[in-house]
Amino acid sequence: MQHVTWRFHRPVVACLVTAMALATAACGDLGASNGTGQFPSRNIEIVVPYPAGGPTDTVARALADALNKGGKLNGHRAQVTNLSGAAGASAATYVTSARQDGHTLGVFPNSAFTIQSLLKDQPYSMDGFDFLADAARGGLVVVVPKQAPYDTFQQFGEAAKAAPGRLTIGNPGSANLSETEARLVLDASGLPARVVNFEGTAPAMTAMLGGNVSAVITALGSVTAQIESGELKGILFIGEAPEGSVLADIPTLAESGVPMASALPESPNLVVVRKDVPEAAKTTLRDLITAAASSAEYKDVINGMGMKIPLTSPEENLAMLQAELNWYTTSGNHLCGGGKNAETPLCLAWTRRPGA
Amino acid sequence: MFNDLLAGFGDALQPEYLLLALLGVVIGTLTGVLPGIGPVGAISMLLGLSPAVGPTGSLILFAGVYYGSMYGGSTTSILLNIPGEANSVVTAIDGYEMTKRGRAGAALTVAALGSFIAGTISILALAFATPVLGDLALKFGPPEYFALSVAGLLLLCILLTGPLWKSLAMVFLGLMLGAVGLDSLSAEARFTFDTIELSQGIGLVPLAMGLFGVAEVLSVAQQVRHGRVRRPKAPRLRDLLLTREEARRSAGPIGRGSVLGFVMGLIPGPATLTSTFVSYVLEKRLSRRKEEFGKGAIEGVAGPESANNSAAAAAFVPLISLGIPFTPVMALVLSALLLNGITPGPQFIDQHGDLFWTVIASMFVGNLMLLVLNLPMVGLFTRVLALPVQVLMPMILVFVLVGAYAANNTMWDVTVMVCAGLLGFVLTKYGFHMAPLLLAVVLGPTLENSLRVSLSIANGGFGTFVTRPISGAILAICAAVLVARLVWLLSRRVRRTAGNGDTGSATPTTATEPDSSTRVLSERSNQP
């Protein structure tokens, strides 16, 4: 029997080798940098603070793809690593503790540096990063199913007033821009509708299509196709729609008569690098990102999701984040809706924030 | 429609698509067989290829990986009592018992055949009923998810052998473990002790690998130490095939598993896993040989293995008909389409008909490839049992360690797995089942979120759970089953005390189990 035993040992070893190979592939390229050559001198790693498959991940992957197709990486590659967990803290600390040669980037939403750092002490801070570029920016939209009895936000408001507390606006989760904006809009327009938090855009949309909530407020990328096909009606746009798209027809806050200045910016997808990377590397990175983001393929992906490619300067990005932080610190009590929403997790987190 | 499908076959049989389908099913089978890396991890790694292979190629590749992993996951469950991925936990219950009785080949064969038949049925449903079924999925709202989660946990507890309180205790432990981390509705940290690691929650993959894999290695090690290891022998060649009796007994479970898996796959949540539990419970209920479940009933392998494949195919329905991904794997497929400039939505089949039909045709091809690949492998895989345990067990330990690390590239997952292994080893020794614990960890977040969202929608009214027809009916069935069980237990106790005093040692559970001596005998009689 012994020879049989060892003959069939082999497939198992082969499996083990494959497991090792897969594991190494997952770890990314660990090849050493030569330190003297041109930038980039090794593969560029783009870290995303979410699991693969979301809008931020799609932006990062489209960017990596455009960088690779641009052919300016000295034969190296850009690749995406998903480091979800701890609401973005794992990915942020990964970027700030990476080597200082600028080969580790991150793509982050603004909330990682603004509301999340206000609500909770984070192991990273805005000062540790340089905000190289805003790779894609999108507004928020309030949608209703195509058979809903309202075509505009005013009509939605009238229906809400006719049945106080009956209409609901679903959003993809607490402590994000969608919930904040939903509460601000209802607060500013004095509507007696309620906000329902879900655990992501998909469950919120499913519940709305099944008639369990009246409307959903969410970021654009996830609903653009349904608005274009007419399956969903956009009744309110918060931000600036890309010109020429079907989204540009959705009424804005001002057009809907909501007395609210859009104090919060639209959601950017910020490409960040640790602050103490040499200036030369940062300049090269910016040029590479600008070239990649100008490619037709990249534009197709981003515009297809209903987002714009602003490519603002690092100074503008920093100023935008500062303005948002200032808004929260001066007007954050809006989150509690003048005491009306005092029991909501968002308001509780706000009142309990460090240094409050 | 048939013309569309034929045209789809014309495209799918092009060499490059055939190659991608083959690559997909081979990678999928490997990720299924190897503990740790599941379909989500494998597809995440392959997502970078998406722009290069195009939208059709990406869908063919990812679909291959997805159902390939459903096929492969059963192998280690059946042979070693170590699920290759979470969806095959249920298969291990009776699959491993079959292995002990020398029927490993039959178990693997029925798993492959069941997967193939379920795959074919569900692809047909996907091809011809997608627009209709998308609307069915919407009939289920948060109150229904809540009712289904309650039903899943309760029914599993009631139908497992052993005292009810032990199963319920495992459910509560599982719910607590599932609550660790950031709460997904309000991002509040729970049981995290201010550590980053715990705030990510306890990973399902390391937990399952610990509770089942590491615990099994430890228990074998203990048997070796006490010199009473009784490992199953590798079956002879002629024992690899299904007997006529086994084939007859498998037909019903495969059919029911296919339908059940498909319907459950339409509902958001971890359907590929939960459908296996429900199928197992259903088969046990329907079987005339209830006592064989847990002792190597072939129905317990055929049903669940068909259900998870069927559920995997059904997950494509909401993505294609509504443009909404219900599962993490479908979110990755959506991402692959977005990266290729295609945004799926209700118009997907109209706008991208050729893509849809090519992918459907290629799923048929891939499914056939899996059967052709897997059936000859049955003989090869069963030879693993010929390895001495002193060689096999350390190798398995290396596999699960590497697998736990590779899934997320963190040592934390390895720590979780080792701790879960110790926990699983001790609890199993004291007669606790690990299946309700794992199901509770999986369903815990669904249970909690759907409860909170339902109450939030209903403005705090609990009435919503009973006034809605579907959730009301499900909860009523649960209550009826629970009451029936309690009445049965009580009446038994009354009868026993009324009978005579000296039968106190006969607990309700051992009464339904065959005597352990007959079990040893049947094991021996199967050995050459």
In the CATH scheme, what is the code of domain A33-137+266-326?
A: 3.40.190.150
Chain B residues lying within 8 Å of A65, measured CB to CB:
51, 339
Q: Is the pLDDT of residue A19 over 70?
A: no
Query: What is the spatial distance between Cα B84 and Cα B64, in angstroms, rounded to a whole number?
Result: 17
Rounded Cα gap, residues B401 and A13, in angstroms: 15
Interface of B with A in 407-426 (CB under 8 A): 409
User: How much of chain A is in helix, strand and coil states, percent to nearest 5?
Assistant: 45, 15, 35
Surface of B (210-239) touching A: CB under 8 A: none
The pLDDT of residue B269 is 76
What tokens were used for A209?
């299509």
Task: Find the closest chain A residue to B322 by CA distance.
Answer: A226
Two structure tokens written together for B457: 């929608």
CA dihedral B488, B492, B495, B499 (to 10 degrees): 160
B129 vs B147: CA distance, rounded Å: 26
Measure Cα distances from B188 to A163, A317, B281 in Å. 32, 29, 35
pTM above 0.95, yes or no: no
B390 interfaces chain A, CB cutoff of 8 Å = no
Chain A hits for B326, Cβ within 8 Å: 202, 206
Q: Write out the two tokens for B269.
A: 């949540």
Convert the pLDDT of each residue in A215-259 to its tens digit: 999 887 778 878 888 889 999 998 887 777 778 889 988 888 888
Amino acid identity at B223: Q
Which amino acid, B419? C
Contact B188 A349 (CB under 8 A): yes
pLDDT score recorded for residue A356: 62
What CATH number has the domain spanning A140-265?
3.40.190.10
For chains A and B, CB pairs below 8 A equal: 205
Which pLDDT band holds residue B50 (cuts at 50, 70, 90)? confident
Give the pLDDT confidence score for residue A343 in this predicted structure. 66
Instruction: Give the minimum alpha-carbon distance from B414 to chain A in angstroms, rounded to a whole number.
Output: 14
Candidates B328, B387, B391; nearest CB to A51: B328
Q: Which of A31-45, B158-172, B463-477 has the highest mean pLDDT?
A: B463-477
Check CB contact under 8 Å for B200 and A85.
yes
- In whole angstroms, give the CA distance from residue B404 to residue B86: 13
Which of A20, A177, A178, A226 is the best residue to mutate to test the B interface, defined by the most B CB atoms within 10 Å of its own CB?
Answer: A226
Nearest to A53 among B196, B323, B334 (CB): B334
pLDDT band at B124 (very low <50, low <70, confident <90, very high): very high
Using an 8 Å CB-CB cutoff, list chain B residues near A346.
186
Residue-wise pLDDT for B430-451, tens only, equals: 989 888 898 899 888 889 989 9
Residues of chain B neighbouring A300 (CB-CB closer than 8 A): 341
Per-domain residue ranges of chain A: 33-137+266-326, 140-265
Domain regions of chain B by residue span: 2-525
Query: Does the bond joining A40 to the residue before it have cis omega, within 30 degrees of 0?
Result: yes
A20: chain B residues, CB-CB within 8 Å:
402
pLDDT grade for B35, boundaries at 50, 70 and 90? confident
Nearest CA-CA distance, residue B330 and chain A, Å: 8
Alpha carbons A139 and A220: distance in angstroms, whole number: 6
Q: Is B331 on the interface with A (CB under 8 A)?
A: yes
